[in-house]
Structure 1
Amino acid sequence: MTKLIPIRGTRIYIEEFGEAGKETLLYLHGGPGASCIDFTYHQALALSSSIRVIAIDQRGVLRSDPILKEDSFGVQDIIEDCEELRRTLGIERWSVLGHSFGGYIALMYASQYPDAVKKVMYEAPMFDQTLSMKSLFRRALPLFEQENQTDRVQECIQYIDGSFSPSELWEAWIRIGNLLGNRRDEVYFHGIDPSEYNAIFENTYLTEDQWGRSYVHGRRLQEEGKLFESLLPLLPQVEHPSLLLSGKYDPVCCEEQTHAFRDLTPNGRIVVFENSGHFPRIEEPSKYTDEVLKFILE
Structure 2
Amino acid sequence: MNLTNGEFTVELNGISHWVKIEGIENNTIPIVILHGGPGGNHYVFERTAGHSLSRTRTIVYYEQRGCGRSAMPESENDYTLDLLIQDFIELKKWLGADKVDLLGYSFGGELALEIAYAIPNEINQMILSAPSLIDTDIQKMIQITGFMTIADKNLYSMISKLQQEGLSIEDLYNRIWAIVEPETVDLLLFENQEIAKENRAMWKESKLINTGLMMNSLQNNPAKTPLIFRLEEIKTHTLIITGVFDRNTGLPISKIIHKHLKNSSLVLFEKSAHFPDLEETEGFIEKINEFLRDN
Give TM-score scaled by structure 2 length: 0.88
| Length, aligned pairs only | 285
| d(CA) in 1 for partners of 2:15, 2:33 | 19
Instruction: Report matched runs for 1:174-193 at 5 Å.
Output: 174-181=174-181, 182-193=183-194
291 and 179 in structure 1: CA distance in 2 versus 1, 3 angstrom threshold: same
State yes or no: 1:97 paired with 2:103: yes
Give the alignment of 1:130-149 within 5 angstroms: 130-144=137-151, 146-147=153-154, 149=156
In the alignment, which residue of structure 1 is the partner of 2:212? 215
Deviation at 1:239, TM superposition (A): 1.2
Q: Secondary structure at the match of 1:68?
A: coil
Structure 2 residue 228 is the aligned partner of structure 1 residue 232: yes
Report the CA distance between 1:149 and its aligned residue.
4.9
Task: Report the alpha carbon displacement of residue 294 of structure 1 after superposing the two structures with TM.
Answer: 1.2
CA distance in 1, matches of 2:238, 2:162: 37
CA contact (8 A) 1:191 1:284 kept: no
Shift of 1:257: 2.3
What secondary structure sits across from 1:69 in the alignment?
coil
Between 1:96-105 and 1:145-154, the stretch displaced more is 145-154
1:174: how far off? 4.0
Task: Kindly provide the amino acid, as one letter, of the partner of residue 209 in structure 2.
Answer: W
Secondary structure at the aligned position of 1:15 is classed as strand
1:8 to 8, 13, 16: 13
Q: How does 1:56-135 map to 2 (within 5 A)?
A: 56-69=62-75, 72-127=78-133, 129-135=136-142
Deviations 1:221-258 (A, max 9, x none): 333234x9642222211111111101101123334323
Kindly provide the amino acid, as one letter, of the partner of residue 223 in structure 1: N
Displacement of 1:145 after TM fit? 5.2
Alignment of 1:163-182 (within 5 A): 164=169, 168=170, 172-181=172-181, 182=183
Counterparts in 2 of 1:277-288, with a 5 A limit? Answer: 277-288=273-284
Q: How far apart, in 2, do the equivalents of 1:153 and 1:143 lie?
A: 14
Instruction: Report what 1:38 is aligned to.
Output: 44
What SS does the aligned partner of 1:251 have? Answer: coil
Gaps of 5+ in 1: none
Q: Quote the offset at 1:144 in angstroms.
A: 4.0
Q: Can you list the C-alpha shifts for 1:234-292, whole angstroms capped at 9, x where unaligned? A: 22111111111011011233343233233221111011010111111011100111111
Q: Match for 2:173: what amino acid?
A: W
What is the percent sequence identity of the aligned residues?
21
Superposed displacement of residue 157, structure 1:
7.3
Tell me how large the CA RMSD over aligned residues is. 2.3
Gaps of 5+ in 2: 1-5
TM-score by length of 1: 0.87
| CA distance in 2 between partners of 1:148 and 1:216 (Å) | 27
Between the aligned partners of 2:155 and 2:93, the Cα distance in structure 1 is: 55
- Assess, with a 3 A threshold, how the Cα gap between structure 1 residues 158 and 135 changes in structure 2: closer, same or farther: farther
Alpha carbons of 1:33 and 1:70: their partners in 2 closer, same or farther (altered >3 Å)? Answer: closer
Whole-Å separation in 1 of the counterparts to 2:163 and 2:272: 24
